């Protein structure tokens, strides 16, 4: 058609209809009709909500084993929870905006509750999808019963219906995982508090069964505590400074400066001589003090004090000290005041000499004791003749009034030297 003729025709007859506008208006009319159908059926569901709840509870009980336990333990509580969830779902069909927040809060509470009960998340999500399927099925059944010609209109709200189900499945999963994180944090914190009380020696007898379960250690086993300091990467996430053999059962308690390992020795046989820390692997520069064996978790506080004592004997450059192999040092260090008094009483005359003279005599005494009383070997260690060693030892005897030929005097001198070395 010529453009001029077309223009005149449009003036006479008006604009040609636009198919899109008719489609949009038709779409809106269809949506309105679909909502009317949904609202009509939803009101019936709301009036018959108890029966709907019974049907869903039966379905869940049949299809989800995890829910059977919940229903057996608290049928009424579970039924009420399902009833609330369905009521919010149906109310959301009638007035989505007004009921959205309440429905979301209900779903969140269910996720938290079921996480606390230990119901698997897969079972919980399945229950929610069963609920969505049942509501949809009842909408179709009710519409088919009262107005079969309107069933086709439900197709236009199906997407919104299942989007609602998906939204609440996501929400309940988020709530469940958040509750799991909170529960895990509380469990870890509780275990940490129980372990701290155990190591401090303040644990209550009534808490021991819970402590044993939390630490995954037997209440009446035999234990040794290892105290580890230094050698750890700075920061809260630093690597631990020690590693026990893979077969060893141990619970680590991380502290600010010292990490403590509560190590299960084995059975309750007091004659057992096994060493679970024989393969203890220390980081460079780390120090480890291993206490003696105690029986029962209730005695772990004593074991920790012994481990601290062993740790205090460790040389500055690092290494492992087993208390049972260093009992004289432990005796000295366990009472610093007496140790200092002993060192002053026995070695006082030597300590008051000029530094150079003092150090030569003290080093000679230490070397002679380390060489089992052999002047020859002590001289080799000190790079001097054995007669020089003997002369220095006689001078030590004169100054201290002790004889190196008397065992009791040798013990006093040895302990005094140990006290000076450890307490200096």
pLDDT of residue 248: 83
Domain of 342, CATH number, reads: 1.10.10.2840
Residue where a domain stops, chosen among 269, 291, 325: 325
Measured distance CA(208)–CA(349) in Å, rounded: 53
Query: Do residue 58 and residue 169 come from a single domain?
Result: yes
Provide the whole-model pTM: 0.63
pLDDT of residue 84: 95
Residue where a domain stops, chosen among 182, 201, 222: 182
Query: Do residue 28 and residue 171 come from a single domain?
Result: yes
pLDDT of residue 20: 36
Range of the structural domain that residue 384 is part of: 334-423
Tell me how many domains the chain contains.
Answer: 3
pLDDT of residue 387: 94
Query: Do residue 318 and residue 342 come from a single domain?
Result: no
pLDDT of residue 360: 93
* Structural domain contains residue 273: yes
pLDDT of residue 255: 83
pLDDT of residue 30: 59
Query: Do residue 338 and residue 264 come from a single domain?
Result: no
* Structural domain contains residue 339: yes
pLDDT of residue 378: 92
Count other Cβ atoms within 10 Å, centred on residue 322.
18
Give tens-digit pLDDT for 260-276: 999 998 754 444 455 66
Query: Do residue 388 and residue 254 come from a single domain?
Result: no
Query: Do residue 33 and residue 171 come from a single domain?
Result: yes
pLDDT of residue 69: 81
Query: Do residue 301 and residue 356 come from a single domain?
Result: no
Give the residue ranges of the chain where pLDDT is below 70.
1-30, 231-241, 267-276, 279
């Amino acid at each position: 058609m010529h453009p001029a003729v077309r223009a005149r025709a449009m003036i006479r007859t008006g604009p040609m209809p636009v198919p899109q506008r008719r489609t949009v208006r038709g779409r809106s009319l269809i949506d309105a009709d679909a909502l009317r159908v949904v609202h009509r059926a939803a009101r019936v569901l709301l009036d018959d909500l108890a029966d709907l709840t019974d049907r869903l509870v039966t379905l869940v009980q049949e299809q989800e084993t995890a829910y059977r336990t919940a229903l057996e333990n608290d049928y009424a509580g579970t039924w009420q929870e399902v009833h609330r969830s369905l009521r919010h779902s149906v109310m959301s069909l009638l007035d989505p905006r007004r009921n959205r927040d309440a429905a979301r809060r209900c779903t969140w509470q269910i996720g938290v509750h079921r996480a606390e009960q230990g119901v698997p998340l897969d079972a919980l999500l399945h229950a929610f999808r069963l609920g969505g399927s049942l509501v949809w099925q009842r909408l179709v059944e009710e519409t088919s019963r009262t107005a079969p010609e309107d069933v086709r209109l439900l197709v236009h709200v199906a997407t919104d219906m299942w989007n609602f189900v998906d939204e609440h499945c996501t929400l309940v999963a988020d709530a469940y995982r958040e509750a799991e994180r909170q529960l895990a944090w509380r469990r870890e914190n509780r275990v940490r508090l129980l372990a701290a009380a155990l190591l401090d020696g303040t644990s209550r007898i009534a808490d021991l069964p819970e402590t044993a379960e939390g630490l995954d250690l037997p209440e009446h086993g035999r234990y040794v505590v290892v105290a580890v300091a230094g050698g750890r990467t700075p920061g809260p996430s630093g690597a631990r400074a020690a590693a026990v053999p893979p077969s060893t059962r141990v619970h680590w308690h991380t502290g600010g400066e010292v990490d403590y390992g509560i190590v299960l020795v084995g059975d309750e046989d007091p004659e057992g001589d096994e060493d679970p820390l024989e393969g203890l692997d220390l980081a460079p520069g780390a120090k480890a003090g291993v206490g003696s064996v105690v029986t029962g978790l209730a005695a772990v506080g004593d074991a920790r004090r012994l481990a601290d004592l062993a740790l205090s004997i460790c040389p500055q450059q690092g290494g492992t000290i087993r208390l049972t192999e260093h009992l004289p040092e432990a005796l000295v260090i366990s009472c610093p005041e007496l140790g200092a008094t002993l060192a002053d009483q026995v070695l006082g005359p030597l300590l008051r000499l000029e530094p150079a003279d003092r150090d030569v005599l003290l080093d000679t005494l230490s070397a002679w004791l380390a060489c089992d009383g052999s002047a020859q070997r002590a001289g080799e260690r000190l790079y001097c003749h054995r007669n020089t060693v003997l002369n220095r030892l006689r001078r030590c005897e004169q100054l201290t009034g002790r004889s190196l030929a008397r065992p009791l005097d040798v013990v006093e001198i040895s302990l005094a030297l140990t006290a000076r070395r450890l307490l200096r």
